[in-house]
Structures are given as structure tokens and as C-alpha cells.
Copies of this chain bind each other. A is one copy, B any other.
């Protein structure tokens, strides 16, 4: 493993930081086996100015990602790579660097202090380095998994890409001081599903659902409610696509938006535009809960499968819609105006199936809480066999898309399907989930759910920066654990979630007191958040809370759109018994480990100046 020798001093004097260094021509030949079709269909700017641009493609047969990194204005080199949550420590990197004499491309990793080291196993493989009119274009590939313990495992879900710009030559990788570089991160779903955009009907219509000219309140969390109505005599249509309209400049304030249809029980819903918790709001708003469209920060347009659309309009369907916009305004900015909303694309030519959206996960209740200073605390919500038995058609439903949702401390989300006590398949999983990147994602494989199946949604939270317990609830500083699954054919089941039984949580508070000499106020006046706030967070109260959540019976919300439960007993339900878990897939090591180079690739350098 020869790392280029030390000639940095001379090199620096030869070149200087003002002189651009250019890489000319490829070393390794493009290895015939590139992916088919459009070579790099996915594209994202890495830095805010777009001077680094990544395009990529995925070969599922080779289990390899092909990257094309465009460096518009090359200085002395670039870092690019992946890390758990976008930090430049413990990152898996490719580095293009020069020692002043030669330029090198190498697979590297950074340690806990952000120091960079060459990898003993070179798994990023350079395919081409080419000058184009736009800049230097580096083509390289990486297997999903490498079996190198220093390497990042490319999985489904969010990938945090990191980048850095090298402004001057470095005598070795270890000499790079990452704290002085221009660095940044970008979140993407690297392993995009192999699904093409469905054909749109020729009679496509559009409708904008917006809350016009809202004065965003100068407080951290606002849910804004706005009532609109469909035109008189609007007949039954299918929504086949929708996209967000975010008022320019407010991109960071608009956290998520949903369009709900009201209950048919009301002839009319009075007009309203104001905070959803306003005392002035019409009562009927509480009965507008049938989700028509949902968008959250980071998502793009959403397409329904060709055989399904989301029905609205016509008989048996309310003309009234409620737009809910969640404004997240941590700096409490005053006076900002907003007209964000969603643009629906719909057709009168009904598709074969009505699609639906169902909420899985945890009920929004403070009964489910996360102790402070936890780095990976897991809360789990259940959609039980009893509920799917009652609410799903005999032939089941097909889930084709999923949107995971938590508030600020969410780090992982997963929904697993279980049948007869055995975990069968993952509905959706994101091991690097970020609340700042809540896309609706098409599933790689449609998941069939049958009556009697169980859907288990678990969220992992990091409350390392909090001093008090984080309870479940609507506020941005409270937490949620939700998977909005998109499926067809539509059923009456809109919400299938759970929370721990309140009586067992009272036993928890009592037991904490027994073991801690009466510190938690368990008097009837104290609310659950108050009780959680007074728990002494020692190993016992933490472990015991986990034990209670993992054992106590649950209250199941098996609800129709009207917030009405399906008939039956839903309290004090047993936790679903899971006798066999899905095995974690062990990442396949690339077949030919012996063939990959063990030292960086030398890239020949051409003339200077520009």
C-alpha cells in the first residue's frame, strides 16, 4: 500500500493555491458492464451553488451504484462519500487529491476525529476521469456492501451524502484538515426503485388547494387549517398525481401539508382560515379527516399506479376539503406571508381501483414517551390482526407507496408485516431516516396485506440533546411515529395505530415511585406529560419504561375516516406475539475481493492555468 511520497512543500510552491490543477484523461477503462438505458437518470446538486453535481444509476443485478460526479471548477481536489447522518466523521469517502506532482483517486475513510485514511481495501473503483465543457467528470462505481468494516453499507432509504472541496495540494490524505474545508451534506434516496412514471390520462385536469395569503404566526409550531370546497355538482374523479406548491422563500417554514375531505354528515362546513387549534374554528373541522393528499418536506410529485386513483367528488363524498399546513418556525419569524398548498392532477375517466391512504404507527398521545439522553430509543405501534381482520377485504390490499413521519428526534423508521406470529416482509424501512427528508416513496415491491395480518411500525429516536422526556403529540417538540401507506383497493380503514394502555402506564409511575422514594406526582391532577417530566431518569426508570412498552397491553385505534372506531373492544388488547423475526440480511461481499486494487489509482495531470 504505497501512499504518495512527501513532496508537498515543493508542490505548493510550484502550483500555489491560485493555479488550478487539471486532470486530463482516464486511467481505468470503462468496464463494459455499465447499466442500461439512460446512463445516469438521477441527479442532485451537492452544494447550494451546484458547483458539485452528482448523477447516478443503480444496477440491482450487480448490486452496484454507478456515480458520475461533475466538478464544475476543480481546485486541488474533492471529497465525496456517505456517512450515517451526514457528518464528515466516520465517513466512507472517495478522494481526488494531488500532492502537487501527481493526482490520485482513492477509497478512504475518516475516523472519529475526521482524519482521513486510505482504505486497505479499495472498493470505489474509478471508471473514467474526463474533461467536459462543464467541468471535470469522474465516473466510478461502488458495490452496495463491501464487507470492509470501515465502509458504509448502501441500503434502501435515505443516504446522507457528504462532500468537501480541497483548495490546495496535500502530501497525503492524513494531512487533510477537514475542519478547514468547505464541506456539506445532501440527502438522497440512492437506491431508487426501478419503476417508471405511469402514463397520465389525456383528459388530465388540475386544481390548486392553497391557503391564500396566510400570515405565518410568529411561534414555533402552527397547524394552519383552511377550508375550501369543490365546485357545485363536481362529479366523481380520480386524483392520479399531485405536487407541492411552496411559496418561494418559505421552503424552510412549510414542514408538511395535507388535504383532507370532510365527513358527508354535514350539509355545509363554514369557511375558515386560521390555526387548527383556534377557539374560533367551526366544530365541523374535527370531522375533516379523510386524507386526499399528503406532502412533507423533501418530497416531489406523487404518482398513483396506472390501475388506481384516489376518488373525490360525486355522491357520497363531501364537497368540503380541509388543507392543513404545518408551519415550523423555530426562529419565531414575524410577518411572513404564505400561500403554499398542493396541486392535484385528476381525471374523470375513473381507473379500475380507488386508492386509499392509511396511517400506521403510534397514536398521538403523551402515553408514548422517550426518556431524555437516549441515543436509540425505540417506540412501536401496532395495527393488530383483529383490526385487519375486521377492516380489510378478503382478498386483502396492496401497499404501493409509503411516507415515514416523525418529528425532530426520529432517526430510524420501519414497518414490518407479520402473519401467524411470524415476521414476513419489510413494508418500508429507513435506517438513516431524517425528519428533514420525508419523501413519499414508491415501494420496490408492492406488499399484499391480508385480513389477520399485523403491521408493526417502529421508530428509533435520539434525545441526546434533551433534558426532559419527549412525549407523543402534535407539537414539533413532541414526537410522532407514523407510516402513511398508500394502497388499493380503498377500504374504510383510515387509521390503524396503537398506544400503551393508560392503566399500565399508571402502574409504571407507581413502580418508579416504589423504587425511587416517591418522586413522581401520581396524583389525579397531574397530566401524563407532567408525570413524565417528574420521573428521575436513572437506569431503572429507563429500563422499566422499555419493559412496560414491550409488555403492557395496548389500546388500538382501528378507525374509519370519521374518527369513529370500528365496532368491537379495542382497549386492553394483548401485544401481538411475534415468534420469529426477519433475519437481518448479511451484506453480500463483492465476489472478487482479491481483484480490487489495494492502493490509490494514479490519475495523470495535464497543464495548468485556465
Instruction: Point out residues on A near B: beta carbons under 8 Å.
Output: 1, 120-121, 147, 149, 504, 507, 510-511, 514-515, 538-540, 543-544, 546-548, 550-552, 586, 589, 593-594, 598
Contacts and interface: CB of A to CB of B under 8 A. Distances in A.
Contacts of A551: 515, 538-540, 543
Contacts of A514: 507, 510-511
B552 A547 contact: no
Contacts of A589: 120
Contacts of A586: 149
Q: Which among A1, A149, A546, A551 has the highest number of chain B CB atoms within 10 Å?
A: A551
15 contacts: A1-B594, A147-B149, A149-B586, A507-B514, A510-B514, A511-B511, A515-B548, A515-B552, A539-B550, A539-B551, A540-B552, A543-B546, A543-B550, A543-B551, A544-B547
Contact of A539 (B544, B547, B594): B547
A338 to B, nearest CB: 47
Q: Which among A539, A547, A586, A593 has the highest number of chain B CB atoms within 10 Å?
A: A547
Contact of A594 (B120, B149, B548, B552): B120
Nearest to A543: B547
A594 B119 CA distance: 12
Contacts of A540: 547-548, 550-552
B543 A593 contact: no
B547 A593 contact: no
Contacts of A120: 589, 593-594
Contacts of A547: 539-540, 543-544, 547
A357 to B, nearest CB: 33
Contacts of A594: 1, 120, 598
A43 to B, nearest CB: 35
A599 to B, nearest CB: 8
Nearest to A546: B543
A152 to B, nearest CB: 16
A72 to B, nearest CB: 35
Given A507-B514, A510-B514, 7 more contacts: A120-B594, A504-B515, A515-B552, A538-B551, A540-B548, A540-B550, A543-B544
Nearest to A590: B120
Contacts of A511: 511, 514
A510 B511 CA distance: 9
A207 B545 CA distance: 59
Contacts of A121: 593
A446 to B, nearest CB: 32
A532 to B, nearest CB: 17
Nearest to A120: B593
Contacts of A539: 547, 550-551
Q: Which among A511, A552, A589 has the highest number of chain B CB atoms within 10 Å?
A: A511
Nearest to A507: B514
Contacts of A515: 504, 507, 548, 551-552
A583 to B, nearest CB: 11
Contacts of A147: 149
Closest 9 CB pairs of A and B: A543-B547, A540-B551, A594-B598, A539-B551, A511-B511, A539-B550, A544-B547, A540-B547, A120-B593
A310 B360 CA distance: 69
A312 B121 CA distance: 60
